[in-house]
Amino acid sequence: LLQALGLRLPRPSHALGALLVIPALAKGAHSLLEWQSEVLPLPPGAAEGGVELEAIMGSSSPMWLFFFFALSPGIFEELVFRGALLGAMRRDFTWKRIVFWQALYFALVHASIYRLLPTGILGGLLALIALRSRSVLPAMVLHIGYNALLILGNAGHLTFTSEPWFEYAPWAAIPGVALFLIPPRPGPPDRAG
């Protein structure tokens, strides 16, 4: 079951790479949502539904917000999408098709035309990370960190996201991506034959 869900220890470089990509991904999603709101603005009645969520986010403790909006979805969505579903797709599909279908399914399950593009990009990126690391754990780390940065930053619980130095945090994605590109060390020589 653990192997079927992709629950194996990743290389430390993959876990660190996932952590380093989080600020760039959160900043990119924020910019993409701003652009998308100009192209496809929310209808007048839809903005009022967000008032309830903002009230919950503003009145909740950071720990509850982290648990319900970052930790829980990061673990369970990754077990379903990058664990079970990706594992089943791996048998029959090429990596390109897996990434495409993972992006599409992930975006559609979130059921919001207004978040379709950023959620699809996130789903595809998480699939690439799970495929490259051969583990769902780096994708979980990235998903949890991404959700935490967006939710807690928007609720005002993470004040460093408004600091001037945070503008440079997305540059950490360069070494983060590089850590995923490092080829694995060769294994022990094959003694067969």
The three-state secondary structure class of 193 is coil
Residue at 142: amino acid letter: L
Residue 189 burial by Cβ neighbours in a 10 Å radius (0-12, 13-18, 19+): exposed
At 156 the pLDDT is: 75
Which residue in 27, 9, 35 sits closest to 153, CA to CA? 27
**pLDDT tens, position by position, 108-124:** 998 888 788 889 999 99
pLDDT of residue 191: 42
What pLDDT is recorded for position 31? 84
Q: What is the 3-state secondary structure (H, E, C) of 125-159?
A: HHHHHHHHHCCCHHHHHHHHHHHHHHHHHHCCCCH
pLDDT of 104 reads 96
pTM for the full predicted model: 0.84
| pLDDT value of position 56 | 61
CA-to-CA distance for 69 and 72, rounded, in angstroms? 7
> Consecutive 10-residue runs of the chain (193 residues): their mean pLDDT?
78 92 89 82 61 59 88 95 93 94 94 84 95 94 93 78 83 91 66 40
pLDDT at 192: 40
